[in-house]
A and B are shown apart, each in its own frame.
Chain A
Amino acid sequence: MLKQCEGSHAVAEAVGLCRPEVICAYPISPQTHIVEGLGEMVKAGDITDCEYINVESEFAAMSVAIGSSATGARTYTATASQGLLFMVEAVYNASGLGLPIVMTVANRALGAPINIWNDHSDSMSQRDCGWIQIFAENNQEAADLHIQAFKLAEELSLPVMVCMDGFILTHAYERVDIPTQEQVDQFLPPYSPRQVLDPANPVSIGAMVGPEAFTEVRYLAHAKQMQALELIPKIAREFKDIFGRDSGGLVRPYMLEDADTVVVALGSVLGTIKDTVDEMRADGISIGVLGINSFRPFPVSAIRRALSHAKRIIVLEKSFAVGIGGIVATDVRMAMDGLDQRIYTVVAGLGGRNITRSSLHRVFRMAMHDQLEALHFMDLEWNIVNKELDRERTTRRSGPIAENILRDLGQTKSNVG
């Protein structure tokens, strides 16, 4: 049924329709409305045969998720930012043990300095943790991907992180088609675990593995993610058969076929990029977009196929690896190895900085005239940066950087609004 609702609410409803048996979560902005919504649904009896567990921290949330998933219960949790960092040890265990937990990451920046706004630093920090990571472009897709995520996770016996932009999606009201229980039941069979902690048939899960077998276990984790490259498009097709719409898949092309310049990005910023590309196309500029839906596994072949004709590629990402630059761009470079293309990294939207069409126009045009540096920080205020660098050159005890900059900006605290 079509609804005008908050993204968090749509996700809570979608998760509820997947008949989760255990939900354990610790609230953190901007994920809070999702787990609050699920808590209310369990309490009201809208979700049946489900235990909602209030835990004392994110570390406990993932630990409980591991325990419940290992007993064969369909398990869901959600987090963001520092909460994801706090659960990291258990995050690696969940994937290492092959437990098909589904977790929403409501993407948010990482501190310090503390920042509650959106970027992709949190889930990118876990890009090598062994979880599948899929990104939603809008709230319809965020809802749909959760339904697909349970199927994907359980078929592979691997955990799946559904990444959706915090605030920008979680707190946005837009139109979402919430499926019926019958549709979801038709799509998602009951969970049939590959491994289960069962007192009647005792097994160990998570025993120590030495050098004699560790490489093989780790290789099989990689092999499973490679299987996901086949399974993700298959699940997206099955989803379309039942729900009648395109959601998920590995990559999503837009105005790509004849494009000399292609912008690559993940998540909700794809919408603003597509609107910008429409305007540039109207001016006769040959530009297109490739959205990456599955970041882990990274669809190397699909990306190479989609981008092989492009003269230049602009990877726009909401995070970066300090000391080298783009994270997504590095992976794209690997996919395009050996081809003669310019690949630019544009870092944008850090800590909630707005990504506007006007800035995108400027940066895309600079790239098209090959006037963009290989690593570009969009809308970076150089005068503020240089002032602090000057201060550090001239004063030994120059003080805390973040507070210095806020003082330079004439603010004593971060501006709201």
Chain B
Amino acid sequence: MFQVRIHGRGGQGVVTGAEMLSIAAFLEGRHAQAFPSFGSERTGAPVVAFCRIADKEIRLREPVMQPDALIIQDATLLNQIDVFSGLDPEGYVVLNTHRSFEEMGLGELATRFRPERLITVPATELSLKHVGRNAPNVPMLGAFAAASGMISLDSVAAAIREKFSGKVAEGNIAAATEAYNAAKAVMEAAHAQAM
């Protein structure tokens, strides 16, 4: 079972992001479960949502406490809560920022986790560019697909079309695609450097 925890703030589509991730995994024939950490959602308040992906029925209902991947939609949360809590040493991190982990003062993460699995992506800029509003959830999924290989970009696009239609869907697909390609480019550059 692969477990994802998504951190963000109310209004950034955290819950929708987890739901779309579950749809993308479902479309690839897998079992998936998405659910929010329930509460009185308010704009700007920290929000957490979860997604589990497995090859058999998922019965577990506890929150994800040892994630295999973290999707952090809002970098300001890093000063507020321990978003890395419980992350598997082999885990993936996708962080929404136009800066690098070093520039964010998170260089030490590379000593605790596998550096090639730590990805930053300017998801807010990409959503503003393609969708016209701050909705980083979809480009984050594009970057997650690139980083983890758990789902394909095509499945992300299909999940977007289940949730949105028309121009909003197309804009989100463009944002996810650019995020996917950007993440792939960063990973290939890191790989070339390591060679």
Contact = CB atoms under 8 A, between A and B. Distances in A.
Q: Please say whether chains A and B are actual partners in one complex.
A: yes
Interface string A1-44: 01010100000000000000000000000100000000000000
Interface string A246-261: 0000000000000000
B125 interface: no
Interface in B11-49: 18-19, 22-23, 26-27, 31-42, 45-48
Interface string A152-182: 0000000000000001100111110000000
Interface string B46-66: 111000000000111111010
Contacts of A167: 35-36, 38
B60 A271 contact: yes
B62 A357 contact: yes
A66 B23 CA distance: 39
Interface residues of B, number: 29
A93 B27 CA distance: 46
Interface residues of A, number: 29
Nearest to A116: B40
Contacts of A4: 22-23, 26-27, 32
Interface string A382-413: 00000000000000000000000000000000
A138 B63 CA distance: 16
A271 B47 contact: no
26 contacts: A2-B26, A4-B23, A4-B27, A30-B38, A138-B59, A167-B38, A172-B33, A173-B32, A173-B33, A174-B31, A174-B58, A268-B61, A270-B59, A271-B58, A271-B59, A271-B60, A271-B61, A272-B60, A272-B61, A272-B62, A352-B38, A355-B62, A416-B42, A416-B47, A417-B37, A417-B47
Interface of B: 18-19, 22-23, 26-27, 31-42, 45-48, 58-63, 65
Given A271-B59, A355-B61, A417-B39, 4 more contacts: A173-B22, A173-B35, A275-B59, A354-B62
* 5 closest A-B pairs by CB: A271-B59, A416-B39, A4-B26, A173-B34, A167-B38
